[in-house]
Amino acid sequence: MRTELSKYKNSKRYKSKIRQDLFFKSIFQLSALLSSMMIVIIIVFILVKGLQPFIAGYQYGTRNFFEFLVGLVYRQDQGIYGVGFIVVNTLISGFGALLISFPLAVLTALFIAKIAPKRLADAMQTVVELLASIPSVVYGVFAAGSITVMVKNLGAMLSIQTAGGSSLLAVMLLLAIMIYPTITSLAITSIQAVPEDIQHASLALGATTTQTNFKVVLTSAKSGIFAGAILGLGRAFGEATAVSMVAGNKLFGPTFNLFDITRTLTSTILTGLKETTGVDYDIRFSAGIVLMIVILISNLSINLLKNRIGSQK
Amino acid sequence: MKKSLAIVAVLIAVLLTGCTPKEVKTTGNISVYTRDASSGTRTAFFEFISVVEATPLTASAIEVTSAADMATKVSADENGIGYTNMEIAAANPSLLALSYNGVAASETNVLNGTYKLARPFNLVTRATGTFSSPEQEQIVLAFVDFLMNSTEGQEVVTSKGGIVEAGKDTAWDTLKAKYPLLAGDVSTYTIKTGGSTSVDSSVKAALEAFQALTGVKFEMNHTGSSDGFKRTLGADKDSVNAVDVGFASRAFKAEETVALGIVSGAYCVDAIVVVVNAKNTVLTDATTEMIHNIYTGVTKTWDELAK
């Protein structure tokens, strides 16, 4: 037996198999390395470019980092770059969208995964997936053409004048629609993954189906649902094209009035990017750093929130 | 249940369709629309209406992302005012193009110089014998001829929003006979251009069209109108920054002696139009002072203008 094995191990066939394995292993390693290198390259590049305006000796005049971070005015024409209010605006519009979208998405997911008859559930899931695949510029065109009109008319009914509907409310509604499929899809997957046993246990203890759905299914699926919320929020913060079509790009802030125009970090980075040079170009990388930090912090805080919801029960 | 559904349906219908259209007087706050600070149109427009550092743009202005976006936003806002190029203003029926200081914004008025919200795009070449070689001189002159006098060249300029005089429509095939070099391979030559940044898009399009027809390469280094003269005939004409053709998005000044160049003159005129929503009942004409006051935030409501 042993000799058979060692014979095989010395055979050409075995050696070529080992070589093949090694070859593929190194290919996988290389691609993993390459993709992780990308992240490092991007972060380093943005850090270097974005911190440049705040380092002494910057060719277009060094900026004060603190003033940049807490500034309440952003005017290229006067050379004033403050993103403090833009961060607040970004947070308001992102979390506002999440506030509208999250309950709707979770309830839809519960309906599709647990309540709806199979055919209806399949059809609705397809609809959600379709929504997720619509490109953001199409959402933008839709928002600029119809959400703004709705907001404008709503404003007119309340006798509030809006800038043709471009407003914080329009941004929130647009983002709510855009992040809805992301949250719903993830919530559906995680609700479907809840083991039948614990549902049966709950029902056997005398809980109604609704009680079971809310108190057992949703709490067991919370990890996936919150992952969806985090992804959705990431999309809301990161969406640039569609948002800049309805935001109105206010020069100062922050904006708390739903019917007033606003300015988000992404729309600030995008607007006029292709036609500009000098500090106005470099400062967009600084805004990019701020955006990455904002997303990081909000993801961490949602994770904290998730852990707290679990442990209270 | 049915009742509440009906109420929701009615509400949505009202929101979507809005109030019934009727002749409403324009009133309330003026929504001031502007291009973002990197726009050349904005720079030119603000120069015309003297929105400068001492009297800056009102902080409540709404920034739009492009000339087309400007048209969309102002046509959706009865209280809006903005500025764009003549082509876009004319193409959109829900925009009203205002006359400026009493002169209607039309191509005729732009070309005869009465419409003042316009600026010429001028060019000047180096003087005879100062090119790197006589062949280079011929190639550059061929391009200038293409840009200023050929059907193809003028079409390219028009497509970038420039307004050109009628009658400059000799086919390039006829014009190119004057330049014997073009019959051979000229892909080793490079035309260098410089000067105004506003001319960027139309000059680039023209150079690309010229390259497609002849194979001549180009190098653009546009830094501002004052460099147009300086780098062809002025102080920098022999420096490393020297160019073959210089551009200025304004009339050449008296001290810029462009007559020394082989060719000088305007290849098109760029016009800006102040637009309001077609439903606007207050304005049909814009004066420099009025627009200055609106854009600096002195005039805030339509009611102030209606008086």
Domains contained in chain B, CATH given? 28-117+271-300 (3.40.190.10), 119-270 (no CATH)
Contacts of B243 (CB under 8 A, 6+ apart): B192, B193, B194, B195, B221, B231, B232
Residue A61 has pLDDT above 60, yes or no: yes
A161 vs B contacts (CB less than 8 Å): 28-29, 79
Contact at CB, B18 and A77, closer than 8 angstroms: no
Q: What is the pLDDT of residue B113?
A: 85
Residue B238 has pLDDT above 60, yes or no: yes
Q: What is the pLDDT of residue B19?
A: 47
Mean pLDDT of B207-214: 92
Minimal CA–CA distance to B274: which of B85, B93, B40, B44? B85
- CB count in 10 Å sphere of residue B116: 14
Q: Which of A208-217, B219-228, B292-301 has the lowest mean pLDDT?
A: B219-228
A157 vs B contacts (CB less than 8 Å): 14
B73 vs A contacts (CB less than 8 Å): 163-164, 166
Q: What is the pLDDT of residue A311?
A: 57
How many Å is the Cα radius of gyration of chain A? 26
Terminal CA-to-CA distance of chain B, rounded, Å? 52
Mean pLDDT of A11-39: 90
**SS3 of B263, please?**
coil
A148 vs B contacts (CB less than 8 Å): 76
Residue B11 has pLDDT above 70, yes or no: no
For residue range A86-118, what is the model confidence (pLDDT) as tens digits? 999 999 999 999 999 999 999 999 999 989 899
> Is A160 at the interface with chain B, CB within 8 A?
no
Mean pLDDT of B300-306: 86
Instruction: Quote the crossing angle between the two packed helices B134-149 and B151-159, to the nearest 10°.
Output: 60
Residue A313 has pLDDT above 50, yes or no: no
User: Could you tell me the pTM of the whole model?
Assistant: 0.76
Contact at CB, B63 and A251, closer than 8 angstroms: yes
Residue B126 has pLDDT above 90, yes or no: yes
Distance set, CA A287 to CA A80, A87, A222, A263, B87 (Å)? 14, 9, 33, 12, 35
Q: What is the pLDDT of residue A170?
A: 93
**Chain B contact residues (CB < 8 Å to A):** 14-16, 18-19, 28-29, 31, 36-40, 53, 56-57, 59-65, 69, 72-74, 76-77, 79-80
Instruction: Please give the full DSSP string across A76-141, using - where no structure is assigned.
Output: GGGTEE--HHHHHHHHHHHHHHHHHHHHHHHHHHHIIIIIS-HHHHHHHHHHHHHHHHS-HHHHHH
**How much of chain A, in percent, has pLDDT values that exceed 90?**
38
Q: How many residues does chain B have?
A: 307
Mean pLDDT of A284-296: 91
H or E stretch at B172: helix B172-175
Give A141 to chain B, closest Cα distance, Å.
Answer: 11
B109 touches B239 (CB < 8 A): no
Whole-complex ipTM? 0.75
Residue B3 has pLDDT above 80, yes or no: no
What confidence category does residue A305 fall into, taking pLDDT thresholds of 50, 70 and 90? confident
Terminal CA-to-CA distance of chain A, rounded, Å? 60
- Residue A166 pairs in a beta bridge with A163
Please tell me the distance from the alpha carbon of residue B14 to that of residue A150, in angstroms, as a whole number.
9
**Using CB atoms, which residue from A150, A166, A271 is nearest to B36?**
A271
A169 vs B contacts (CB less than 8 Å): none
- When mean pLDDT is compared over A304-313, B53-62, B123-132, B165-174, the highest value belongs to B123-132
Q: What is the pLDDT of residue A160?
A: 84
- Residue B217 pairs in a beta bridge with B190
> Is A211 at the interface with chain B, CB within 8 A?
no
**Using CB atoms, which residue from A157, A165, A280 is nearest to B37?**
A280
Q: What is the pLDDT of residue A98?
A: 93
For residue range A139-192, what is the model confidence (pLDDT) as tens digits? 988 888 889 889 988 988 888 888 888 899 999 999 999 999 999 999 999 999
**SS3 of B222, please?**
strand
Mean pLDDT of A7-27: 87
Phi, psi of B274 (to 5 degrees): -80, 130
**Average pLDDT of chain A?**
88
